[in-house]
C-alpha cells in the first residue's frame, strides 16, 4: 500500500488526482468504515486512515472518506474552537482549495466565499497567486495552505495576499516548516523531480522553509503569530483525530 501511494502521488498530476479522488471517496468511505478514528471536519468515523507521503510515508494520515490530512484537521479545530469565523459574516479567499474544506466552506451562508488557483478544477477563478484579479483590501480572511513552497517568487505572492487582505484581516499561511533549520533552503534551477523530492520532500516543491519563514511574512508587512494549537488538545483526541505530532499554524494579520 505504501509503495502504491508513493507511485500515485509522484506520477499523477495534481488536477487529475483531485478528479480521481472525487470518484474514489464514496467507495473508500464504505471500505474503511469503523469507529477507531474520526475526522472532526465532518465527524465521519473509520477503522483506520490511509498512509500518505511523496517521500516519507506517514501512517494514518489521509482520511479515506474526506481526503483530509493531519494539517487540515488541525486547522479545522483551530478555526472552530479558537475563532468566530464560522459564525460571522466574512469575505473569504481560499487559494488552492482543498476538497474537504471546499465542500464545507461553500455551505457557510455567512461567507462570501471565493476560490482561486491556476489549475485546480475546484477553483472558481483561474489566476496566478502573484497577480490576483482583486482590488486592494477586499477579504476578511485568506486561507493559503501548502502553496508557497511551490511558488517561484513567494515574496511576491505574499505581497499580493497582503494587498487584497482587509485592514484588520487575517491570513492563514500554512507551509511545511523544518524547525531544525533557521534559514530556508531553495533551488529554483534545474533540479530533477527526484532531486526535489529528496531535498524538499515533494517533486513540485522548490524550497524547504526554516524558522525564517516568519521573518519573510513580516517583511511584506504582516503581524505574525505562530500558533501552537496542538498544546491545547487532549492527547487522546490527538490520536482519535490523527493530528500532526508537531505543527504550528502561521497566522498573519494586516494592521
**What CATH number does the domain containing 89 carry?**
3.40.50.150
pLDDT of residue 91: 98
Residues 113 and 32 in one domain: no
pLDDT of residue 9: 67
Return the beta strands (E) in the chain as ranges. Answer: 33-39, 44-46, 50-52, 58-62, 90-95, 111-116, 139-144, 165-172, 185-186, 207-208, 223-227, 249-253
Residues 172 and 195 in one domain: yes
Least confident of 15-29, 136-150, 162-176: 15-29
pTM, 2 dp? 0.88
pLDDT of residue 88: 95
CA nearest neighbour of 169 among 83, 78, 253: 253
Query: What is the domain count for the chain?
Result: 2
- CA distances to 42, 232, 238, 253 from 67, rounded to whole Å, are 11, 24, 18, 29
Residues 36/63, Cβ–Cβ less than 8 Å: no
pLDDT digits (tens, 9 = 90+) for 197-223: 777 877 788 899 999 999 999 999 999
Strand order in the sheet with 165-172: 111-116, 90-95, 139-144, 165-172, 249-253, 223-227
Residues 94 and 147 in one domain: yes
pLDDT of residue 200: 82
Residue where a domain stops, chosen among 18, 39, 70 = 70
Residue 183, φ and ψ in degrees, nearest 5: -105, 130
Q: Is 105 among the domain residues?
A: yes
Residues 155 and 191 in one domain: yes
Q: Is 76 among the domain residues?
A: no
Q: Is 75 among the domain residues?
A: no
Q: Is 21 among the domain residues?
A: yes
Per the structure, the complete domain to which residue 135 belongs is given by 81-253
Q: Is 59 among the domain residues?
A: yes
Cα(133)–Cα(201) distance, integer angstroms = 31
Q: Is 87 among the domain residues?
A: yes
Q: Is 127 among the domain residues?
A: yes
Q: Is the pLDDT of residue 10 over 70?
A: no
For residue 160, what pLDDT band results from cuts at 50, 70 and 90? Answer: very high
pLDDT of residue 195: 76
pLDDT digits (tens, 9 = 90+) for 64-82: 999 999 999 999 999 999 9
Amino acid at each position: 500500500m505504501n509503495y502504491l501511494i508513493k507511485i500515485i502521488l509522484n506520477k499523477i498530476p495534481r488536477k487529475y488526482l483531485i478528479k480521481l479522488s472525487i470518484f474514489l471517496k464514496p467507495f473508500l468511505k464504505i471500505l474503511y468504515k469503523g469507529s477507531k478514528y474520526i475526522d472532526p471536519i465532518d465527524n465521519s468515523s473509520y477503522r483506520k486512515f490511509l498512509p500518505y507521503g511523496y517521500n516519507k510515508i506517514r501512517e494514518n494520515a489521509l482520511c479515506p472518506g474526506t481526503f483530509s490530512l493531519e494539517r487540515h484537521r488541525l486547522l479545522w479545530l483551530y478555526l472552530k474552537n479558537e475563532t468566530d469565523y464560522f459564525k460571522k459574516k466574512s469575505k473569504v479567499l481560499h487559494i488552492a482549495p482543498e476538497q474537504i474544506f471546499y465542500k464545507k466552506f461553500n455551505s457557510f451562508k455567512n461567507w462570501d466565499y471565493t476560490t482561486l488557483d491556476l489549475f485546480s478544477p475546484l477553483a472558481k477563478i483561474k489566476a496566478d497567486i502573484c497577480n490576483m484579479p482583486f482590488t486592494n483590501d477586499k477579504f476578511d480572511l485568506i486561507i493559503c495552505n501548502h502553496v508557497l513552497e511551490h511558488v517561484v517568487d513567494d515574496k511576491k505572492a505574499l505581497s499580493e495576499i497582503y494587498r487584497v487582505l482587509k485592514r484588520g484581516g487575517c491570513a492563514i499561511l500554512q507551509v511545511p516548516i523544518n524547525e531544525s533549520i533557521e534559514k530556508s533552503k531553495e533551488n529554483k534551477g534545474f533540479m530533477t523531480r527526484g532531486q526535489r523530492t529528496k531535498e524538499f520532500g515533494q517533486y513540485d516543491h522548490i524550497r524547504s522553509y526554516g524558522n525564517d519563514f516568519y521573518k519573510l511574512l513580516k517583511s511584506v508587512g504582516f503581524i505574525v503569530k505562530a500558533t501552537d494549537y496542538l498544546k491545547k488538545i487532549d492527547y487522546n483526541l490527538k490520536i482519535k483525530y490523527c493530528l500532526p505530532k508537531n505543527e504550528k499554524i502561521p497566522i498573519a494579520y494586516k494592521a
